Structure 1
């Protein structure tokens, strides 16, 4: 008999009139809000403004959602194509199925395109958003708890997750995805909690490292550390999960992705130290661009884009 455990919520959605509100969606929104706030605070310290972060977010978030869905479709094609698939299901994201790797890749590309257009230093933005992403991902994992999904192997630990067969949680009848028979009352590793804790520790470490090494590590280093930290944790956490996943050489696809991205993160960190510019230099460039943007909004709206580009190009050559 288990005397201690983590209970599962009995609901994953609620209704306001005819509108269905999914709690998973609310955790995603809360994560985005937290990420925007944290990033804007850090960005302002570099010399930027909240409006710059908000504009970038309006580009990056839709790109990230599309990327997350595309990753899920690519890695689980049988759900959407073939004799048992339904391609229309691709557009029903409220039924679940978003991959963090696709969100990061396409979201980053969207942000890069916008930042390049506005002539902001991308390396600074990457460093500003690094701990914010970890906090947002931690908050988003609460959605898995409400959905009662993506848990780990059976365990007897006192913090094991107890499932239930009541309520409207999406995973309330999906015990032991791997086909094994689990006795009633079986507890499972709360992988959502493991990743939450791992991500929050990583966010705190990145902030601490950033403050200690602002003049020694090159711009972009903190984002590389985010990639290294997140993938290191995701590798062992992913290996605990028992939900269905395609495998390659005995390992889940997401484990291989984590290992490969971890290696790329280490390589990127080394390359950044040799090729990137110092953070103070890029911060000065950002302050110059921001000043000209503000001046352009107040006095010469039609000329502010040209002035910002000229300032950016000049600072880049410094």
Structure 2
């Protein structure tokens, strides 16, 4: 029996209502900003909950959240601008126009990791303990934030006629694809993938609470790298707006690095059997 996908309801077809949620005089509230703020709020509360379950001071996570925002948002924008420099060199005033889109999650991760390392050293806490508590919030935040691409009509894939196709306005299409109307909703693919990674990390975290001797500090953070990167690797292959490094898609290069680092770190923890404590005291230096 052959399934005819063309018979599926047209409701699967996505059309963005636009980037602006509401405009009140001089105040404009954009979907992208609202989604990022929502992701941060949910992430902080989730990380604090996980900290309590690991007997770590939850106030550390609210303090860390400020550092992560300070490091992640400029890092995400700077990363994007560097690889799209030709676009901004003649319009430098647009470099700070983050509300128009144009951020890169890998830049956010790098900027956030640097901020977390500094925070951990200043507060004499374990970086890996903090990373474990943040990893589920991070991937859930990515799942939420990807919908900002939907409202901005960006980060879409190649043309398609699948029932869940995404309509892209002419002004947002690449010139070479101007005659196509519908594209792969890669924002949706990655959002769903990230939700699955989130559920996996939460399952392992909660299971680890019942059997602490088997879950080492750093496991969730290291597992995040290959699980997220595997999804990003194949989804990026569908996208038409990738940041490029010569002929290579930069996100795929970074994803391969993430897979390698994550697997190597997990092997180091569980095969080499490095002796790390199961729960690091917040008062103990990294």
Decide: shared fold, TM above 0.5: yes
> How far apart, in 1, do the equivalents of 2:241 and 2:107 lie?
19
> How far apart, in 2, do the equivalents of 1:244 and 1:238 lie?
7
Among candidates 166, 171, 176, match of residue 173 of structure 1: 171
Matched, 1:79 2:87: yes
SS in 2 for 1:150: coil
> How far apart, in 2, do the equivalents of 1:178 and 1:227 lie?
34
- Could you give the per-residue CA deviations for residues 170-189 of structure 1, whole angstroms, max 9, x where no partner exists? xx6222x2613434xx4211
| Runs of 5+ unmatched residues, structure 1 | 166-171, 290-311
Among candidates 260, 285, 290, match of residue 257 of structure 2: 260
Pairs aligned (count): 273
Please give the root-mean-square deviation of Cα atoms over the aligned residues, in Å: 2.0
| Structure ID, larger Rg | 1
- Could you give the per-residue CA deviations for residues 73-120 of structure 1, whole angstroms, max 9, x where no partner exists? 211111222xxx222322222222111111111111112211221122
> How far apart, in 1, do the equivalents of 2:185 and 2:136 lie?
23
Among candidates 180, 193, 199, match of residue 194 of structure 2: 199
- Could you give the per-residue CA deviations for residues 120-149 of structure 1, whole angstroms, max 9, x where no partner exists? 222111111111111100000111111111
- Aligned 1:1-318 pairs, distance under 5 A: 4=10, 5-13=12-20, 14-81=22-89, 85-163=90-168, 165=169, 173-175=171-173, 177=174, 179-183=176-180, 186-213=181-208, 214-243=212-241, 245-249=243-247, 251-273=248-270, 274-275=273-274, 277-280=276-279, 282=280, 285-286=281-282, 289=283, 312=284
> How far apart, in 2, do the equivalents of 1:229 and 1:41 lie?
23
TM-score w.r.t. the length of structure 2 is 0.88
> How far apart, in 2, do the equivalents of 1:276 and 1:19 lie?
54
Contact 1:57 1:111 in 2 (8 A): no
TM-score w.r.t. the length of structure 1 is 0.80
